[in-house]
Structure 1
């Protein structure tokens, strides 16, 4: 087995004195199997963590979770006082319903059409009478009947335009109701990811402002293992999407193995130690793997 060891010295200060602490990263390649690569001293980190903020100003009336609880995406975490927002939402809903009823009401259009039919019928009878008996109806009366028929036609157009306006008003009221519903929703602190609540920043009863962090969540069902490998070992290898096994506490009774795959190989090489960064996404369905653990990564 060929073993490459690179030592890095970290310095810390204690009581004005400097001490050098060795940190060693290993990369192994099994000569018996040219397709396997072992990366030691990889660090397990989280892929996704979120600081969940308040989106509206108000008093935090209730916290629905506690540290250590696992929540699904969209779950209610906390509630900001929303009595006024709820009332405004109910008002907006009622106004929308009224606008809908008005938009669906076509009585004015039907009445205008019926009036137009009657006016046209009267005008037609008068014209027929004049044809048979020229002096039976005066010209003034004919003009009045003609005007009545034209007015009825215009009333149809007016009623049609008013119906269109009523439909637009209904859309405006619908939009107002949606805005009011959004205002209610923004007073709910919901989880943007599926994960574990690890820290609650604000207590129930305290005042929050938009942007204040209410709690912090970690996604733990998939973690990342990051390590360094000598670039010379990667010259003839394409590691992207390669399956890997992460071994925690190798060679001990507490040894645990987790499956995953390579998700990133850095294109940059450190000019000092000739190393490059590699990381893999590791499945963690039982949440036994913890961020901060050190482990070994075996690339198949």
Structure 2
């Protein structure tokens, strides 16, 4: 009897333990619709640009230093440009001369007046011949007809010259625009907003086209890079929203919203992981490259999910 009760007790105890373990395992397993946790991420730069010289010359002015915050399009330095300015001024004079020549129609008006006189004289001579036969020789008539034809050609030639002058003025205008472009290329401007990380040249130094003058880091937006197991998700998370947690200096943990912008098309063969990264806004410039972070990736709101909802086939 005691053995029977002991057996029943043992069986009940094992069943209870088994159910408890199963319950604990089920509670620890992530639900299919829950966020994907990506630990061990790293904050890095979105853009890092070396700003080059576009023209050869001596650096005339530079009003920047490392650590300075700059805006896109802000002038950072300038090369000497006196020669280019004189060239532009010369082209502007040439353009003005050609423009005035294109507007000058004196030769055309003179040729037309000459043609009127020649036609009138020819008409009177022909009328005289009709009144008195052979009062005017055929040779003189032919000379007058030639004079009329000559004035016609003079008009055409004057109009042609005026058209060439107009085209020359347009060509000179292109030359002025090219000179203005060369002047702009003497200005070193920030291609992106960010912070000046390094300055390689100083005023008075000669630079050639392509020489790096300074380096700018973009800091208003940063990248959060991490690795994701292929068993958890794949390319379908592209475009998904993320919640990034970063531990700032002073052990202050701050959360930032972002979005997945890249999923590697290549799986790391040893660990079976995909490289992914998200971009987050960094308006306060608190997120510094090199800080550690972690991501919570939301499901079913990315590029591939949107295609499925629209009834379009997924890209493979």
Class of the TM-score when normalised by the shorter of the 2 chains: 0.7 to 0.9
Q: Provide the C-alpha distance between the structure 1 equivalents of 2:149 and 2:190, rounded to a whole number of angstroms.
A: 63
- 1:35-74 pair list within 5 angstroms: 35-74=34-73
Q: Provide the C-alpha distance between the structure 2 equivalents of 1:80 and 1:49, rounded to a whole number of angstroms.
A: 23
1:259 to 257, 260, 278: 257
- 5+ residue gaps in structure 2? 1-27, 299-316
Q: Tell me what 2:25 maps to.
A: none
Which string of whole-angstrom CA distances, capped at 9 and with x for unpartnered residues, describes residues 84-142 of structure 1?
Answer: 11111111111111111112222222222222222222212221222122233232321
Q: Provide the C-alpha distance between the structure 2 equivalents of 1:219 and 1:109, rounded to a whole number of angstroms.
A: 62
| 3-state SS of paired residue (2:94) | helix
| Number of residue pairs matched by the alignment | 270
Q: Provide the C-alpha distance between the structure 2 equivalents of 1:203 and 1:234, rounded to a whole number of angstroms.
A: 50
Q: Provide the C-alpha distance between the structure 1 equivalents of 2:161 and 2:229, rounded to a whole number of angstroms.
A: 77
Q: Provide the C-alpha distance between the structure 2 equivalents of 1:30 and 1:277, rounded to a whole number of angstroms.
A: 23
- Larger-gyration structure (1/2): 2
Alignment of 1:226 with 2:235, yes or no, is no
For the 8 Å contact 1:75–1:190, the answer to whether it is kept is yes
Deviates more, 1:182-191 or 1:130-139: 130-139
For the 8 Å contact 1:30–1:36, the answer to whether it is kept is no
- 1:279-298 pair list within 5 angstroms: 279-298=277-296
Q: Provide the C-alpha distance between the structure 2 equivalents of 1:290 and 1:106, rounded to a whole number of angstroms.
A: 69
Q: Tell me what 1:248 maps to.
A: 246
Deviates more, 1:175-184 or 1:53-62: 175-184
Q: Tell me what 1:122 maps to.
A: 121
After TM superposition, give the deviation of residue 82 of structure 1 in Å.
Answer: 1.0
More strand by share: 1
2:276 to 272, 275, 278: 278
After TM superposition, give the deviation of residue 223 of structure 1 in Å.
Answer: 1.3
Q: Tell me what 1:182 maps to.
A: 181
For the 8 Å contact 2:247–2:291, the answer to whether it is kept is no
Give the root-mean-square deviation of aligned CA atoms: 2.0
Q: Provide the C-alpha distance between the structure 1 equivalents of 2:295 and 2:172, rounded to a whole number of angstroms.
A: 59
| 3-state SS of paired residue (1:286) | coil
Q: Provide the C-alpha distance between the structure 2 equivalents of 1:284 and 1:131, rounded to a whole number of angstroms.
A: 99
Q: Provide the C-alpha distance between the structure 2 equivalents of 1:190 and 1:226, rounded to a whole number of angstroms.
A: 30
For the 8 Å contact 1:30–1:37, the answer to whether it is kept is no
User: What TM-score, normalized by structure 2, do the two folds share?
Assistant: 0.80
Q: Tell me what 2:77 maps to.
A: 78
More helix by share: 2
For the 8 Å contact 2:224–2:279, the answer to whether it is kept is yes
Q: Provide the C-alpha distance between the structure 1 equivalents of 2:70 and 2:113, rounded to a whole number of angstroms.
A: 63
Q: Provide the C-alpha distance between the structure 1 equivalents of 2:255 and 2:123, rounded to a whole number of angstroms.
A: 96
For the 8 Å contact 1:53–1:214, the answer to whether it is kept is yes
Given the superposition, is the C-alpha separation of residues 65 and 164 from structure 1 closer, same or farther in structure 2, using an over 3 Å criterion?
same
Given the superposition, is the C-alpha separation of residues 30 and 85 from structure 1 closer, same or farther in structure 2, using an over 3 Å criterion?
farther
* Runs of 4+ residues deviating >4 angstroms: none
Q: Tell me what 1:169 maps to.
A: 168
